[in-house]
Amino acid sequence: MKAEKDPKTGKWLIQYRYKDWTGKNRKSTKRGFQTKREAEEWLRTFLLQKSNSCNMPFRDFVALYLDDMRHRLREHTMINKEYIIQDKLIPFFGEKRLNEISVANIRAWQNGLIQQGYSQTYLKTINNQLSSLFNYAVRYYELSSNPCKKAGSMGKAKADEMKIWTKEEFQDFSDCLMDKRVSWMSFQILFWTGIRIGELLALTFADVDLEHKTMTINKSYQRLKGRDVITLPKTPKSNRTVNLPAFLVEDLRDYMDSLYHPNPGDRVCPIAKTFLEKEMLRGVKLSGVKRIRIHDLRHSHASLLVEMGVSPKEIAERLGHENIETTLNTYSHLYPNKQERLADRLDAFYKNSSQEEEKANGNKESDQRKDRVLSSDHGGVLSVGREN
């Protein structure tokens, strides 16, 4: 299995034998290498991959990982995953042997990223991706352990403070966008329903039932590499029917009446996320409200529901969360005031019940005193009668 010159092209080729996934011996040839060293290095890596060896370079392992996951994950998920890997992992770990990456290497990598000032949630996302790669190697390539577990994590799963708009802040914002009907309507839907931006952009007129005041969420819109892509919602529970308040139904009716014969399959908001992001900046600048992300409108809607006393289960169903734990973990910080109010109500109940009990006891003692007086008076009368 030595490399040799290809007499036809003048480039290098290498013939080799290997066992395929069924265990059968195979023979093949790889051509087109510029140098002998390049051909031999390719063969060495190829054989390591076929043997599921952890001695391969991290870069080559990543290629195997991505090739496998590409068949299992949604396209936009893969795009985000590949970006993080290529931009944040490969530059540091790319040439290191997979089984030689140490805890010290990971700590040094983490420290370098922390110093770059990324947000805590983004640091957590990056670290999780590296840990996922090592978990994959442990499971399928017999790596002894995941060094990320010993190195510890970085960043935080949740931001320290969730930025949201109150009803009043949203009203000030939306009033500044009434000159563009599609913008105004888009933000009305996002704030008053809590649906995701992808769900809004995929919404068609057939999904809106004004008579029954409902909106069917069964797809999501993505703009990927210059293409419009309609996919399934984020999770199975994201397939749901959202009930609409009467005022939003009337806003939608007016909006639809302003359009020229829309077809049932047409998108309600035929715009892109980038357009809404620009419109959000415009509205923030004109209104003077604090700047938040489009996704924070979803959090703002959840905050309204919490304030209204809606149960976590109902909120989870409306937002399309896979389970109630997601709702509680995401919005737990919104509940302390509710707990304080509950404690105040218990305190008021205790005081009122105590006062009623004291009043009842007071009335009882008063009645008993009256009984004693009456009894004493009655006894005196009888005594006088006996004297007479």
Same domain, 138 and 193: no
338 pLDDT higher than 70: no
The residue out of 313, 334, 355 marking a domain boundary is 334
pLDDT value for 296: 93
Of the residues 94, 119, 151, the one at which a domain ends: 151
Q: Are residues 91 and 173 in the same domain?
A: no
The answer to whether 239 and 259 have CB atoms below 8 angstroms apart is no
Question: Looking at residue 106, which CATH number applies to its domain?
Answer: 1.10.150.130
How much is the average pLDDT of 34-50? 78
Within a domain: residue 141? yes
Flag whether 383 is in a domain: no
pLDDT in tens, 295-327: 999 999 999 998 888 888 999 999 998 888 878
11 phi and psi angles, rounded to 5 deg: -95, 175
pTM here is 0.63
- The DSSP symbol for 97 reads B
Please determine, for residue 248, whether its predicted confidence score (pLDDT) is greater than 70.
yes
In tens, the pLDDT along 108-150 reads 999 999 999 888 888 999 999 999 999 999 988 878 899 999 9
Give me the pLDDT at residue 119, please. 82
343 is a domain residue: no
* pLDDT tens-digit map of 156-208: 877 666 789 999 999 999 999 999 999 999 999 999 999 999 999 999 999 99
pLDDT at 335 (0 to 100): 62
Residue 237, pLDDT > 90, answer no
Write down how long the chain is: 388
Answer whether residue 293 is part of any domain: yes
pLDDT at 376: 58
Token pair for residue 375?
């009894």
Sheet bearing 3-5, strands edge to edge: 3-5, 12-19, 25-33
- Is 181 among the domain residues? yes
Q: Do residues 162 and 183 lie in contact, with contact meaning Cβ atoms separated by under 8 Å?
A: no
Q: Are residues 130 and 183 in the same domain?
A: no
What is the pLDDT confidence band of residue 224, given thresholds at 50, 70 and 90?
A: confident
Query: Is the model more confident about 382 or about 287?
Result: 287
Question: Per-residue pLDDT for 383 more than 60?
Answer: no
Are 143 and 176 within one domain? no
pLDDT at 69 over 60: yes
Of 334, 361, 380, the one marking the end of a domain is 334
Range of the domain at 264: 167-334
CATH number where 177 lies: 1.10.443.10
User: Is residue 332's pLDDT more than 80?
Assistant: no
CB 25 within 8 A of CB 19: yes
For residue 329, the model assigns a pLDDT of: 76
Number of domains in the chain: 2
Burial of residue 9 (CB within 10 Å: 0-12, 13-18, 19+) is: exposed
pLDDT band at 386 (very low <50, low <70, confident <90, very high): very low
For the chain, give the percent of residues with pLDDT over 90: 49
Please say if the pLDDT value at position 358 is more than 80: no
The answer to whether residue 353 is domain-embedded is no
Higher-scoring residue by pLDDT: 354, 220: 220
CA distance 12 to 5: 4
Domain co-membership, 63 together with 108:
yes
Domain-located, residue 379: no
Query: Of 198, 205, 204, whose CA–CA distance to 273 is shortest?
Result: 198
Burial status of residue 90 (CB atoms within 10 A of its CB: 0-12, 13-18, 19 or more): middle
User: Is it the case that residue 377 has pLDDT exceeding 60?
Assistant: no
pLDDT grade for 385, boundaries at 50, 70 and 90: very low
Alpha helices in the chain, H assignment, sequence order: 36-50, 58-69, 75-84, 90-93, 103-114, 120-140, 147-151, 167-175, 181-193, 197-202, 246-257, 273-287, 296-307, 312-319, 324-331, 336-387
Sequential DSSP letters for 173-197: HHHTTTTSHHHHHHHHHHHHH---H
**What average pLDDT does the structure give for the chain?**
85
Both 248 and 100 in a single domain? no
- Spatial contact of 66 and 85, defined as CB atoms under 8 Å apart: yes
User: 8 and 85 share a domain?
Assistant: yes
User: Which residue type is seen at 374?
Assistant: L
Average confidence (pLDDT) over 346-354: 82
| Local confidence band at 13 (pLDDT 50, 70, 90 cut-offs) | confident
What value does the mean pLDDT take over residues 243-247? Answer: 96
User: Which pLDDT score is estimated for 163?
Assistant: 87
For the cut 70, the answer to whether the pLDDT of residue 379 exceeds it is no
Helix axis angle, 36-50 to 58-69, nearest 10°? 50
Helix (H) or strand (E) holding 4: strand 3-5
